[in-house]
Amino acid sequence: MQLQQQRNQRPSRAELTAMGLTPAQADHELVRQSELEVIETSITRWVMLFGCIICALLPVSLVLFFYLIYSYVLEQRQDCDVPLVLWFWVAMFNIFYHINLGGRSIHRQVIRSVCRYQAPEQSLEVPPARVRLYHWLTTIFVFSWHCVGLHWARISQTCHRTAPNLYTSTYLFASFNVIFTIFTVISTYGLQHMLASLLRRGLLPSSILGSDRAAPEGTLELQSSVIFDPEEFGDALQCPTCLEDFSKEHQIRKTIC
Residue 34 confidence (pLDDT): 76
- The domain total for the chain is 2
Please indicate whether residue 104 or residue 244 has the higher confidence score (pLDDT). 104
The helix/strand/coil state of 145 is helix
pLDDT tens, residue by residue, 46-68 = 778 888 888 888 899 999 999 99
Q: To the nearest 10°, the Cα dihedral for 53, 59, 65, 68?
A: -110
**pTM, entire model:** 0.64
Using pLDDT thresholds of 50, 70 and 90, give the confidence band for residue 230.
confident
Both 197 and 241 in one domain: the answer is no
Both 158 and 252 in one domain: the answer is no
Contact by Cβ (8 Å): 68, 169: yes
Q: Is residue 6 part of a domain?
A: no
Q: Is residue 142 part of a domain?
A: yes
Contact by Cβ (8 Å): 167, 156: yes
Contact by Cβ (8 Å): 21, 243: no
Domain of residue 221, residue span? 217-257
Both 106 and 143 in one domain: the answer is yes
CA angle (54, 60, 66) in 5-degree steps? 130
* Burial class, 18, CB count within 10 angstroms (exposed 0-12 / middle 13-18 / buried 19+): exposed
Using pLDDT thresholds of 50, 70 and 90, give the confidence band for residue 228.
confident
Both 228 and 176 in one domain: the answer is no
Q: Is residue 21 part of a domain?
A: no
pLDDT tens, residue by residue, 88-130 = 999 999 999 988 877 788 888 888 888 888 776 655 567 788 8
Residue 202 confidence (pLDDT): 60
Both 187 and 233 in one domain: the answer is no
Both 189 and 232 in one domain: the answer is no
Neighbours of 249 (CB within 10 A): 6
The one-character DSSP state at 101 is: B
